[in-house]
Structure 1
């Protein structure tokens, strides 16, 4: 009767394949591909934008309005609401006992919505 292989042999093989793949990608992208592509930089290619509107400010220290971040946070809030609400609504007949939990969740979101509305979060021009 043959001795069975170690249960970790497949994990070792997977790690070796991953390491070889990573090294191959680095070698190909760093040494082989630059030899295959043409290297002819032109002034237009080295500019910040090849097309479109030129940047108004240079550098990465441009200050954005807080309204952009507020809009993103409100989007995430209501997107998560939809992500929780849709599976619950689809499975409502089988999960009727979760109605109280969903009412609590919707109530919490309603309080947050009223608070954001009262603070003027939905008014872009102010």
Structure 2
């Protein structure tokens, strides 16, 4: 029989996280104000009256800029553990990291040519 030993703390962590999330949802439904009115349905914009509708179209460049940011943020997340354990991983891991960086460079060149890095 397959038994996972050493994962007791992980199981406790998952249970505690689930209980905290459930408690937050239950407490917010119990403690939230129940009044319904005109003010409750208004959009809150820093205390100012809303101007225009909420369904406006944004320029696609905002989304492209955000995606490029996410790509390079993910690069940092994946390369940091690799850099910490560089001496123990060997040559194969170095080549794999170079391939990963090359793929990201190709993505950067593609985004640059499409104009995703130009804000104006």
Q: 1:51 to 1:106 in 2, by over 3 A?
A: closer
Shift of 1:106: 0.5
- Matched with 2:73 is 79
The structure where helix makes up a greater share of residues is 2
> Any idea what the Cα deviations from partners look like across 1:30-58, whole Å, max 9, x if unmatched?
xxx47xx796x7x7676422634543322
What stretches of structure 2 of length at least 5 have no aligned partner? 1-14
Q: Partners in 1 of 2:83 and 2:76 — Cα distance? A: 10
Q: Partners in 1 of 2:71 and 2:53 — Cα distance? A: 33
Q: Partners in 2 of 1:38 and 1:112 — Cα distance? A: 49
- Matched with 2:52 is 57
TM-score (norm: length of structure 2): 0.63
> Any idea what the Cα deviations from partners look like across 1:41-84, whole Å, max 9, x if unmatched?
7x76764226345433224x211111111111111111111111
Aligned residues, how many? 97
- Checking the alignment, whether the CA contact within 8 Å between 1:116 and 1:122 is kept in structure 2 is yes
TM-score (norm: length of structure 1): 0.60
Answering whether residue 99 of structure 2 is matched by residue 104 of structure 1, we say yes
What stretches of structure 1 of length at least 5 have no aligned partner? 1-13
Q: 1:96 to 1:45 in 2, by over 3 A?
A: same
* Matched position secondary structure for 1:48: coil
- Checking the alignment, whether the CA contact within 8 Å between 1:44 and 1:50 is kept in structure 2 is no
Asked which structure has the greater CA Rg, the reply is 1
